[in-house]
Structure 1
């Protein structure tokens, strides 16, 4: 009898654990009860997230987070993250959601969910103006800096998969990657297109330009799976703020161009 009781208790615990894994989250309710939203933003990835001359957080993702918190009627707390730890911070509930130049990919959708796209990001290879680089094959014999675990890392790795002689140096965050190129440690970089002028601005003597586009991705707000109320709210919020032009205004402010027309219709 005692053995049966132990087995029954174990089965019950397993069932409860299984049921809990399928239960839906109540993040939106928690945000309202807390009167604060925790949004993960990479503040080392200009112009998405950065510190201005007075050490204040700024950037397109910061302003998007501020707009979302305002519309929710709650206080905003920015949770600083880097490219590689965006997903871990979300899954361990250190943040309610992620707005951090987070491109929507099939691989990421296996682990987390995304809102409808609120922006776009182009990942590119950049390098010296004098060098003729127009494709992955032109990188043979070259070393390319990239931030580990980012979309740029994934696309660069895929692009040179069948090519020998391309050396990839992976750094742990965007700030370190950008510094490696701006200081001349590396000549080539795989990153978001917006990074290239930022690297050049950091060191005007580094004559770096975009060499070719690897891929264009939609940007989404990252959320945990099984959180339908939050996802529904975010999808509606994105729709409203694309239509009223507020998200486009933020994008134009930092990138100098409008979002694609098909996103605004």
Structure 2
């Protein structure tokens, strides 16, 4: 009797595991069947993600998501997020993919798969004019504002010995801190730093040094090869036809350098 019960339990677990794996592996089919793709986008990271005067989503990441959904032949559902919840939204099934300034890191690559990069992101330390900061060493004894769980947070935590890293829960909080004078130094993207300079010209904000140039990929759940393969083909095609570069230029003021695109395409 016990052996029969054990066999039934093993069979049940095997059936459930197979069903779960099949469901997980068929995300692309599910998206097509539902005629909708749910994309995790941070709408407080201008010009990549933001809202317009009518509170409608816009920005380069949003336009990439719109183009992807159109080419896939499905509707787009934006799943609003902040930096720290992008990957959890994907892991818990709230979103199908991430298009939200998701820079490649070894730690993130352990829990999500990345597409071929669709855009670059320059990460930097900036601050008020007059502060003599040219390297990590110059940050000792100083406070630097960052968005929690970003690559800037990690880079400064790992390398800015003696500095105080002041973490905010989203980019809107970081922008407010810098613009209002609560923070004199910030670790952020070049695009966000430009926004800070425009909002507070009286602060005389200037770039201090570059932290890194990030490759931004579309995030996909681990072991979802069918969806990842479709997205990679889509990224390749839209680099070659210039549409991704056109979106980037519209919001960031420049084309994606052709040598960068060629490097990305050759690497995959």
**TM-score when scaled to structure 1?**
0.92
Name 1:115's counterpart in structure 2.
115
Note the C-alpha offset of 1:111: 0.2
1:142-187 superposed Cα distances (whole Å, 9 cap, x missing partner):
1001111111111111212xx2x31111111111111111111111
- Of 215, 238, 245, the residue aligned with 1:248 is 245
Note the C-alpha offset of 1:84: 0.2
Equivalence map 1:70-81=2 (5 Å): 70-81=70-81
Name 1:42's counterpart in structure 2.
42
Note the C-alpha offset of 1:22: 5.4
Note the C-alpha offset of 1:19: 5.1
Would the aligned equivalents of 1:197 and 1:209 in 2 still touch at CA under 8 Å? no
Output the aligned Cα RMSD. Answer: 1.7
Q: Quick check: 1:59 aligned with 2:59? A: yes
Would the aligned equivalents of 1:40 and 1:98 in 2 still touch at CA under 8 Å? yes
Note the C-alpha offset of 1:262: 2.4
Mapped partners of 2:89, 2:233: distance in 1:
24
Secondary structure class of the residue paired with 1:189 = strand
Name 2:258's counterpart in structure 1.
261
Segments of 4+ moved more than 3 angstroms = 4-24
Q: Which runs of 5+ in 2 are unaligned?
A: 263-268
- Of 180, 199, 204, the residue aligned with 1:202 is 199
Name 2:265's counterpart in structure 1.
none
- Of 201, 208, 219, the residue aligned with 1:211 is 208
Equivalence map 1:43-192=2 (5 Å): 43-160=43-160, 163=161, 165-192=162-189
1:96-148 superposed Cα distances (whole Å, 9 cap, x missing partner):
10000011111111001011111111111111122121101111111001111
May I ask how many residue pairs the two structures share in their alignment?
261
Q: Which runs of 5+ in 1 are unaligned?
A: none
1:38-65 superposed Cα distances (whole Å, 9 cap, x missing partner):
1111000011101122322111101101
Mapped partners of 1:58, 1:14: distance in 2:
45
Equivalence map 1:227-238=2 (5 Å): 227-238=224-235
Secondary structure class of the residue paired with 1:86 = helix
**TM-score when scaled to structure 2?**
0.91
Note the C-alpha offset of 1:16: 5.0
